[in-house]
Amino acid sequence: MKILSKNGDKIEFLAAPGEDGLRRGDYVIVSDGGKKLLVQILDVNYAELPGILEDTLRELASEPLSLKIFDPYDVGSILTELKDSRLIVGKVRGVVEDGSLRNDLLWLPSRLESRIERASPELIMELSSSAGRRPIIIGESMNGIISINAEDLDGRLTIITGKKETGKSHLAKILITSLAEYGAKVIALDVNGEYIGLSMRIDGALSDVADKHVVLTPGENFRVSMEDAGLATITDILRYILNTPATSLREFIRLWRLVKKVNGKVTLRGLIDAIGRVQLHESVRDALMSRLLSLEATRFFDDENPVKIDSMINSVKEGGIFVINLSKISSHGRRIVVEYVLSKLSTLLRDGLIDPLFLLAEEAHLYLRETYWDDLITRMRHIGIFPILVTNQPDTIPETIYRQADNIFLFNFTNESDLNYISKTARIDSDTVKLIAKALPPRHCLMIGRIVNDLPIVVKVREMPLKMLGETKLVFGLRG
Ligand SMILES: Nc1ncnc2c1ncn2[C@@H]1O[C@H](COP(=O)(O)OP(=O)(O)OP(=O)(O)O)[C@@H](O)[C@H]1O
Ligand SMILES: [Mg+2]
């Protein structure tokens, strides 16, 4: 392999056929003297040689005649080789000196003298790892084991994205089980009911996280009281989810205070009874009544035997995964539960009643209201809710979130507009995103951001012996 050209951080190599064996995302080292240039491979093409078109056309035309040209010195085979030469496009990630990576785009290694070889997995691991002490093994890369540090997810915004069935939820399970094993608490908003099996292993035995795994099913073992939800949260639910008009909302607030004064405590039944009794404009009465009845229909509210989310979270001492099973309720119900959970968590964190935690949200656009996005990356993050967002439709997450993301696990995407969208992230150049993401096989992802010290790495995600409940149900059972 030889250097052909270098322009800024883009570098091109020429390689003979069979010489490279490189895949997109691999790293090579170009060494010259004591210095080393670290280059990530983005693309492998045929080299454009002058006259190649004419030459190939001539060959095509003579093929049917199978002409044998007298060629005693075997020049033909050299020419054929030349035609198959590869042009390898790479991106310079920096200059390696004394075990660390410097951003020096001006140094030019010699075209003739440089040695070009694959970077060793150890070197890549060393350059990409941070100071953390809690490794999470993600999988394999270039024949080496690749791990990240749990500390690099802590306090950060992480996105897992890729097209359908590429292995996003699987990776999310690896992350949250490892986080919990290190003592972190994770709330998982589970729309498909695929995180409810984490306590079982494939062989039926209990998994390592079995004692840390709590499944909360709204309407069953997860029902909360009106008092606990509080006036502000219930008003938000009425306003944003049930679209209650402003005049009715004002009346509702008055009514809440009235019930509190008369009964000493606010209950859903108490509110519904009061609406029937007090003086209200007919349209307001109807508007409020229908909405409170739909709150009741979710079966999420229970003023008799409510669950307290803070005692639930604090009852698990060393790390926990709290799965909120949203798979059995209506889309309204889902939004109501999430509104309650997020506002409750914010209050509890602000008051110092629970510790900071991770929030795993799959396909969040299905239940997160628009105004919560900004909150998630600013206010909520500040008080200690660290989101891990998972989606197969990248454009359902606002652009600003990508720009602010600290970590991205990018699985395969072929769709150009999806790729354009993701390439807006500030942590990586768009060439890398587009070229590498297209070439990723299933279960492989490109890790971007702090988790890899901003040195993008392709990894084959490892298996996990946990019972996976993510499989799509089929009409004909097992495919095959
Ligand atoms: N690294 C892996 N090792 C073994 N099995 C895997 C791996 N990654 C994914 N799988 C399996 O492949 C299937 C699809 O994976 P997964 O459910 O994680 O995909 P997904 O990207 O979340 O899909 P969707 O977009 O539909 O949610 C699952 O059955 C999962 O168990
Ligand atoms: Mg999934």
Q: Sketch the domain layout of the chain as residue ranges.
A: 2-128, 135-222+308-461, 226-297
Question: pLDDT value at position 28?
Answer: 94
Q: What is the mean pLDDT of residues 421-433?
A: 86
In ligand 1, which atom is closest to the CA atom of 171? 18
Q: Is the pLDDT of residue 110 over 70?
A: yes
In ligand 1, which atom is closest to the CA atom of 463? 3
- Using alpha carbons only, how large is the chain's radius of gyration in Å? 29
Residue nearest to atom 29 of ligand 1 (CA): 471
Question: pLDDT value at position 130?
Answer: 80
Tokens of 185: 């608490």
What is the tens place of the pLDDT at every residue in 312-370? Answer: 999 988 899 999 999 999 989 999 999 999 989 999 999 999 999 999 999 998 888 88
Tokens of 395: 């454009």
Q: Give the ligand whose atoms come closest to the C-alpha of residue 410.
A: 1
Question: Cα of 318 to ligand 2 centre, how many Å?
Answer: 27
Question: pLDDT value at position 71?
Answer: 64
- Label residue 106 by pLDDT band (50, 70, 90): confident
Question: Cα of 427 to ligand 2 centre, how many Å?
Answer: 24
What is the tens place of the pLDDT at every residue in 300-311? Answer: 999 999 999 999
Long-range contacts of 107-115 (CB under 8 A, 24+ apart): 107/35, 107/37, 108/6, 109/3, 109/30, 109/31, 109/32, 109/35, 109/37, 110/32, 111/2, 111/3, 112/2, 113/32, 114/2, 114/3, 114/30, 114/31, 114/32, 115/30, 115/31, 115/32
- Label residue 478 by pLDDT band (50, 70, 90): low
What is the tens place of the pLDDT at every residue in 358-409? Answer: 999 999 988 888 878 888 778 888 899 999 999 999 999 998 888 889 999 9
Question: pLDDT value at position 75?
Answer: 62
Q: Give the ligand whose atoms come closest to the C-alpha of residue 168.
A: 1
Residues at CB less than 6 angstroms from ligand 1: 162, 164-170, 392, 443, 461-463, 468, 470-471
Mutate-to-test residue for ligand 1 from 169, 327, 440, highest number of ligand atoms within 8 A of CB: 169
By DSSP bridging, strand 27-32 and strand 115-118 are antiparallel
Work out the mean pLDDT of the chain and round it to a whole number: 88
Question: Cα of 469 to ligand 1 centre, how many Å?
Answer: 10
- Label residue 113 by pLDDT band (50, 70, 90): confident
Q: Is the pLDDT of residue 78 over 70?
A: no
Question: Cα of 333 to ligand 1 centre, how many Å?
Answer: 27
Tokens of 442: 């299933």
What is the tens place of the pLDDT at every residue in 232-274? Answer: 999 999 999 999 999 999 999 999 999 999 999 999 999 999 9
Higher per-residue confidence, 407 vs 34: 407
Q: What is the mean pLDDT of residues 6-27?
A: 86
**What is the CATH topology of the domain spanning 135-222+308-461?**
Rossmann fold (3.40.50)
Question: pLDDT value at position 20?
Answer: 63
The residues, ordered by sequence, that sit 6+ positions from 290 with a Cβ below 8 Å of its Cβ are none
Separate counts of helices (H) and strands (E) for the chain: 15, 18
Question: Would you call 169 exposed, middle or buried from its count of C-beta atoms within 10 A (0-12, 13-18, 19+)?
Answer: buried
Cα gap 370→338, rounded to integer Å: 13
- Label residue 1 by pLDDT band (50, 70, 90): confident
Question: pLDDT value at position 290?
Answer: 95
Residue nearest to atom 14 of ligand 1 (CA): 165
Question: Cα of 191 to ligand 2 centre, how many Å?
Answer: 10
Question: pLDDT value at position 99?
Answer: 80
Question: pLDDT value at position 473?
Answer: 62
Question: pLDDT value at position 468?
Answer: 57
Question: Cα of 346 to ligand 2 centre, how many Å?
Answer: 27
- Label residue 429 by pLDDT band (50, 70, 90): confident
Judge contact between 198 and 188, C-beta under 8 A: no
Q: Is the pLDDT of residue 77 over 70?
A: no
Q: Give the ligand whose atoms come closest to the C-alpha of residue 393.
A: 1
Q: What is the mean pLDDT of residues 128-140?
A: 89
Judge contact between 32 and 42, C-beta under 8 A: no
Query: In sequence order, what E strands does 142-221 have?
Result: 144-149, 158-161, 185-190, 213-216
Mutate-to-test residue for ligand 1 from 136, 141, 145, 165, highest number of ligand atoms within 8 A of CB: 165
- Label residue 98 by pLDDT band (50, 70, 90): confident
In ligand 1, which atom is closest to the CA atom of 166? 21
- Counting residues of the chain whose pLDDT is more than 90, the rounded percentage is 60
Question: pLDDT value at position 67?
Answer: 55
Q: Give the ligand whose atoms come closest to the C-alpha of residue 466.
A: 1
Q: Give the ligand whose atoms come closest to the C-alpha of residue 413.
A: 1
Residue among 450, 446, 463, 411 at smallest CA distance from 139 = 463
User: pTM here?
Assistant: 0.90
Question: pLDDT value at position 381?
Answer: 85
Q: Which range, of 1-15, 98-112, 328-342, 410-424, averages the lowest pLDDT?
A: 98-112
Question: Cα of 321 to ligand 1 centre, how many Å?
Answer: 20
